Amino acid sequence: MSRKATASAPSNIAFIKYWGATDLDHALPANASLSMTLEVCRTTTTVQVHDDDGPDTIRIAPGDGTLTTAPDSFNERFARHLARLRERLGVHGRVEAVTHNSFPSDAGIASSASGFAALAYAISAAFDRLDTPEEMSVRARLSGSGSAARSTFGGYVMWPSDPGAPDSPATQHASPDIDLRDVIALVQGGPKPVSSLEGHRRAATSPHFATRQEHLPERTRRLSDALTGGDFDTFTELLEEETIDLHLVAMSSTPPILYWEPGTLAVIRSVRRLREQDGVPCAFTMDAGANVHVICPPSSEDAVAAAISALPSVHDVIRDRVGSGPRNESEHLF
C-alpha cells in the first residue's frame, strides 16, 4: 500500500445546471444536470498519509515553487471531505495534501469540482482503493460539491436527481468522441460574488424556480438529443435558454444575485455577432459567475478565440476542450 499518491481531475462546464438542492449538505440536487468534462482546466493533488493522529493540512501550490496555506473556508470543506472519505473507505491516518490548479486561482472558474474530485482520487490511490468512475463520483460528492460528482468521467456526464436514491452517482452520457471546444472568457470582475452554496440556498426563494423545475426535464431531454445527434443549432438554442434560466432564477431570488459583469454582456454580444453575422457556430453559457464559456465545434475555435480576445473587458482566454477524465500523476507536488 502506497501512502503517497498524486492524481489530477478536470473541471467541468454544465450544459444543464445544478441549481437548488433538497439537501444541500449532502448535495442532493433539485434537478438532473448534464456537463462537459474539460481537459485543460484541472486540479492536481498530492496526498501523503501519516500514521499519527494530528490535524489534516492542505497547502496550495501556485506553481511558482512556493506553498501557501488555504483560506479557512476551504480548510473546513477539505477537512469534512477527508473525514467522510476515511469513513466510507474505513481507513485512518492524518493527511498532508498539496493542491495545484492549472488555471489562475482568481479566474473565477469553479475549482471545487476539480478540487474535490482530485482529492477523492488521490486519497483512494494512496490507499490503493481506486474504483469505478461511478464509485469515485459518489466519493467526490461526499465533499458537498455536487459538480464534483460530474468530474470523475471523461466526455459528457449526466448527474441524475433521484430523491429515492440520493446516493446515485453521475454516469457518462456520451463519450469524448463528440469533439466540442470551450473557449473560456475571463472577464474583469468586481467584488467577490455570492458563493454557489449560498446560491443553492436561495434558489427556491425565486418565484420562477418552480417554473424552471417544470421545464427542465423536457429541456434536458432535448438538449441531450441535440448533443448526441450533432444538431448544434438546437443545442445552441437550448444551452443559452438554460443559461438565462439559471441566471434569471438567481437574479429573482431573495436577496437577488447578479453574477453578470459588463464583460459578461460584451462576450454574449460578441457570440451573437459571430453566429448571426459571421455564420460561426458557437453558444454561450455561464456557471454561477461572470465568466463566459463559449462552446463550439473545433472549426469555430480560432474565430471565437480571436473575437473574444479582442474585447477590452476580457482579461484572459483559456482554450479548453472535452476531456478524458481524472488520471494518476507520476510527479508529486511535494
Q: Under the rule (CB under 8 A), what is the footprint of a second copy?
A: 190, 207-208, 210-211, 214-215, 240-241, 244-245, 248, 251-252, 256, 258, 260-266, 268-269, 313
Q: Is the Cβ–Cβ distance between 137 and 169 less than 8 Å?
A: yes
250 DSSP β-pair partners: none
Nearer to a second copy, 97 or 314 (CB): 314
Nearer to a second copy, 130 or 308 (CB): 308
CB of residue 214 to a second copy, shortest distance in Å: 8
CB of residue 73 to a second copy, shortest distance in Å: 22
Nearer to a second copy, 186 or 266 (CB): 266
Nearer to a second copy, 143 or 253 (CB): 253
CB of residue 257 to a second copy, shortest distance in Å: 11
Q: Which amino acid is at 60?
A: I
Q: Which residues contact 213 (CB under 8 A, 6 or more apart)?
A: 30, 31
CB of residue 241 to a second copy, shortest distance in Å: 7
CA distance 306 to 304: 5
- What is the dihedral sign for C-alpha 144, 145, 146, 148? negative
Q: Which amino acid is at 265?
A: L
Phi, psi of 88 (to 5 degrees): -65, -35
Q: Is the Cβ–Cβ distance between 275 and 282 less than 8 Å?
A: yes
Count the neighbouring beta carbons within 10 Å of the beta carbon of residue 32. 18
CB of residue 33 to a second copy, shortest distance in Å: 19
SS3 at position 292:
strand
Nearer to a second copy, 22 or 252 (CB): 252
